[in-house]
Amino acid sequence: MPTQQTKRPLRILGSSGSAQDRRRLLAAAVKNHKNDPFDILVGDWMSEANMTFNATKHHKGQGIAYEKTFISALEDVLPEIAEYGIKIAANAGSSDTKGLHDALLALVKEKNVPLKIAWVEGDQVLPAVLKAEAEKTFDFRHLCTNQPLSEWKHEPISAQAYLGGLGIAEAFAQGADIVVCGRVSDASPVIGSAFWWHGWDREDYDQLANSLVAGHLIECSSYVTGGNFTGFKDLEHRGWHNLGLPIAEIDSSGQVIVTKTRGSNGLVSINTCKSQLLYEIQGPRYYNSDVTAYIDGVKFEETGPDRVLLSGIHGGPPPATTKVGITAKEAYHAEMIFWLVGLDIEAKARMLKAQIREELGHRVKNLSSLEFTLNGVAAEDPQDQPSATVCFRVVAQASEKVHLEPANFLEPILETTMELYPGGTFHMDVRTALPRETHEYFVTKLPQSLINHRIHLHDGRTIDIAPPSAVEREIAVPSKPSPRVDVGSFGATTRGPLGWIVHSRSGDKGSNANVGFYVCHDDEYEWLCALLTVEKIQKLLAKEYNGGRIERFELPNIGAVHFLLYDHLDRGVSCTKTLDFLGKNVGEYLRSKFVDIPVAFLERGEI
């Protein structure tokens, strides 16, 4: 940590955006530290998917309930981490942070590397939730549907609260080299790192808010360096591989510059930063356990190649509550896939559906859900057979495994084989038709005062982290209506996909989907705001619109319009039946919809 006199910016490497990220890039960044130094390595290993899966393993006492890839990622570079004095904060503890701590401690001792390891406790809050629910001292409501927890017809086995970053900060202040966490918020490792490095106070809200947004920008690793980016075609000449890892530089005032690892492909630009900012946000107020960030004035400015300055962020006190994800006792899911080719696809699908329902017979009543979906469209006058092929899914869910065992699902469906539609063919790999676990998930809030946030240090000491003393009431910011501008006032138009000139990024939080759209020119933004009303989004969604609430707000300094689609994703990733289980393709679907585009804008070129 630098002295108060130097106050040099902190450099934080975002090394992981999921449990499946590229661990070789983490190791490469550590080994290249002399040429491209950074102070702290952070990583996000958690999602709503592995929260539920690992919670079930921990509840049953079966298998490892933390993310093993955190251990394997560090195994070969522990000596360099110690040599270069790199600090690490990551949430790979998942549902067993103590287990991860013990495994890492054993590895450090085996390698004889002098690293001090701390772990953060407090995210496991099921007893607190059940007590408050039983005593009716808090009204637990689903954040996406407003359903009361009392009406949720599932047995909770785990509840994890999203902790802030101040436990991480305190662990670093007490000498820890590596801090492992369970369910801290995705940005909390960055908040905690910057808080410790610069010696901030809990009331330094502007600085904390900027570090929160910095954490949001780098927590998905390459999502800000060219991954999941609608401008991806422009990156082909650089190489679509090795997009690099992001680095956030944060100074004592909270000023943030986003860059990336040297020598990598990919790109850090205003547009990649816009895209990542829009990913999974829920509104113009970004709530975290440590701070509320007001993001509607956000700006980005390129200060050099692959260097983008963040500005326009202000902060305020955090809310009195934090988000909690509640996992239910496991249920089961199975699906069977058929291929339909050529003509009369709809009629073939009707025939198949009728036959399957007949063969399943009385078994249907044992299912909590049975759905039949067509995916794709057969091309007219196709030039090859794959382009004439459509996928037909039979998707079932049940509370008990026995109801989806082969005798009750796969085998009756296969018995339709000799009476199928013309060309009737099922997928040869029928493993998807065997029952697998699925997990209902209830996302709600819990008062921070009910959380026992605690750090366990290398020397055996524990330190409690107090909840915030100053809090701000959460306010639902009304959707901002579009300006009264005539869409036809922008000159001659041509019919084409919205995505010819409009970028987007979409994602999920629980069963909510969010989608942000942005353009690159002021006149295009005026048109975008006039075009994309809530009613227009409903129309563009077409059959995908489920009648749910849609909220809209604008980010004028980055030319963006954002929509939050409540309860759009069939309960969320842990139990959904849909193909787009993470909501990442909502934006791509909407970009493919045809609208009237001003010719003058198209003359600038398509994306």
**Alpha carbons 561 and 523: distance in angstroms, whole number:** 14
Query: Which residue range is the domain that position 344 belongs to?
Result: 330-439
- Is 577 part of any domain? yes
Average pLDDT of the residues in 87-94: 98
Determine contact, residues 258/313, Cβ cutoff 8 Å.
Answer: no
| Site of tokens 């109801």 | 403
* pLDDT score at 486: 86
Write down which residue in 318, 346, 369 finishes a domain: 318
Residue 481 has pLDDT above 90, yes or no: no
* pLDDT score at 5: 44
In this structure, the answer to whether residues 256 and 314 fall within a common structural domain is: yes
In this structure, the answer to whether residues 192 and 263 fall within a common structural domain is: yes
**Alpha carbons 583 and 509: distance in angstroms, whole number:** 9
- Is 552 part of any domain? yes
In this structure, the answer to whether residues 403 and 517 fall within a common structural domain is: no
Supply 209's token pair.
Answer: 């808010």
Helix, strand and coil percent figures for the chain, each rounded to 5: 35, 25, 40
**Which helix (DSSP H) or strand (DSSP E) does residue 535 occupy?**
helix 534-541
**Alpha carbons 580 and 230: distance in angstroms, whole number:** 17
- Is 235 part of any domain? yes
Write down which residue in 415, 439, 463 finishes a domain: 439
What is the tens place of the pLDDT at every residue in 97-155? 999 999 999 999 999 999 999 999 999 999 999 999 999 999 999 999 999 999 999 99
Average pLDDT of the residues in 350-355: 99
- Is 114 part of any domain? yes
**Which helix (DSSP H) or strand (DSSP E) does residue 261 occupy?**
none
Supply 46's token pair.
Answer: 């958690």
Average pLDDT of the residues in 298-304: 99
Residue 482 has pLDDT above 70, yes or no: no
- Is 424 part of any domain? yes
**Alpha carbons 532 and 530: distance in angstroms, whole number:** 6
In this structure, the answer to whether residues 310 and 364 fall within a common structural domain is: no
Average pLDDT of the residues in 179-192: 99
In this structure, the answer to whether residues 283 and 178 fall within a common structural domain is: yes
Q: Is the dihedral of CA 438, 444, 447, 453 positive or negative?
A: positive
* 3-class SS of residue 43: strand
- Specify whether the backbone of 211 is left (phi greater than 0), alpha (psi in -120 to 50) or beta: alpha
Burial of 193 (0-12, 13-18, 19+ CB in 10 A): buried
**Alpha carbons 392 and 372: distance in angstroms, whole number:** 7
- Is 185 part of any domain? yes
* pLDDT score at 465: 99
What is the tens place of the pLDDT at every residue in 455-479? 999 999 999 999 999 999 998 777 7
**CATH number for the domain harbouring residue 336:** 3.30.70.600
- Is 553 part of any domain? yes
In this structure, the answer to whether residues 302 and 414 fall within a common structural domain is: no
In this structure, the answer to whether residues 245 and 364 fall within a common structural domain is: no
What is the tens place of the pLDDT at every residue in 66-86? 999 999 999 999 999 999 999
| Site of tokens 């290993």 | 45
In this structure, the answer to whether residues 305 and 334 fall within a common structural domain is: no
Q: How many Cβ atoms from other residues are within 10 Å of residue 348's Cβ? A: 22
At 327, phi and psi to the nearest 5?
-100, 135
**Alpha carbons 100 and 71: distance in angstroms, whole number:** 8
Determine contact, residues 444/326, Cβ cutoff 8 Å.
Answer: yes
What is the tens place of the pLDDT at every residue in 374-390? 999 999 999 999 999 99
Write down which residue in 439, 469, 484 finishes a domain: 439
Determine contact, residues 577/505, Cβ cutoff 8 Å.
Answer: no
Residue 487 has pLDDT above 90, yes or no: no
Determine contact, residues 438/397, Cβ cutoff 8 Å.
Answer: yes
Exposure class string for 89-100: b at 16+ Cβ within 10 A, else e: bbbbbbbbbebb
Say how many CA atoms lie within 13 Å of 283 toward its Cβ. Answer: 15
What is the tens place of the pLDDT at every residue in 201-233? 999 999 999 999 999 999 999 999 999 999 999
Query: Which of 296-305, 471-480, 486-495 is the least confident region?
Result: 471-480
In this structure, the answer to whether residues 270 and 308 fall within a common structural domain is: yes
Q: How high is the mean pLDDT of the chain?
A: 97
Q: Pseudo-torsion of CA 94, 97, 102, 103, nearest 10°?
A: 10
* pLDDT score at 7: 72
Provide the number of structural domains found in the chain.
3
Residue 521 has pLDDT above 60, yes or no: yes
**Which helix (DSSP H) or strand (DSSP E) does residue 441 occupy?**
strand 441-447
In this structure, the answer to whether residues 391 and 531 fall within a common structural domain is: no
In this structure, the answer to whether residues 312 and 363 fall within a common structural domain is: no
- Is 526 part of any domain? yes
Inter-helix orientation angle 205-218/270-278, to 10°: 100
In this structure, the answer to whether residues 203 and 66 fall within a common structural domain is: yes
**Alpha carbons 310 and 89: distance in angstroms, whole number:** 23
Determine contact, residues 495/596, Cβ cutoff 8 Å.
Answer: yes
* pLDDT score at 484: 72
* pLDDT score at 3: 43
* pLDDT score at 266: 96
